[in-house]
Amino acid sequence: QVQLVESGGGLVQAGASLRLSCLASGSTFSRYVMGWFRQAPGQDREFVAATSGSGGRTYYRDSVKGRFTISRDNAKNMLYLQMNNLKPEETAVYYCASGSELRSRWSDTFDYWGQGTQVTVSS
């Protein structure tokens, strides 16, 4: 079982940057696909970004391409999401997630979830 703890959320103005971090438990971190999701009030949770176990492959939802960067440090069991030029509509709780393998749908890929960290972007 994997335990995930996110940090780094906060209140920022539109156009600002934030870096989210996720610390994972366990000794097999590099085997896991890792990802970030977000959920705004009253909306479904949506995929934001993901990375393969080695970090060599990354995936993004279209609306964040060029502004967000997902990365991982397998030596430290850490996952990151660098978010630049944030927009008010990106206000949400951001969740870190892990999965054993890529599946055809992002919603089916991830098995373990963190508790989330709030990101609020003011206009």
Contacts (Cβ under 8 Å, ≥6 apart) of 117: 6, 7, 8, 9, 20, 93, 94
Which pLDDT band holds residue 73 (cuts at 50, 70, 90)? very high
CA distances from 47 to 26, 32, 37, 40 (A): 24, 17, 5, 12
Q: d(Cα 68, Cα 78) in Å, to the nearest integer?
A: 17
CB 81 within 8 A of CB 23: no
Q: Helix (H, G, I), strand (E, B), or coil: what is residue 109?
A: helix
pLDDT of residue 1: 81
> What letter represents residue 31's amino acid?
R
| Digit-coded pLDDT (tens) for 9-25 | 999 999 999 999 999 99
User: 17 phi and psi, to 5 degrees?
Assistant: -120, 155
Q: Which two tokens stand for residue 13?
A: 């103005």
Tokens 């391409």, residue located: 65
The alpha helices in 1-123, defined as continuous H runs, are 106-109
The one-character DSSP state at 107 is H
Tokens 């009253």, residue located: 42
pLDDT of residue 26: 79
Q: Is the pLDDT of residue 27 over 80?
A: no
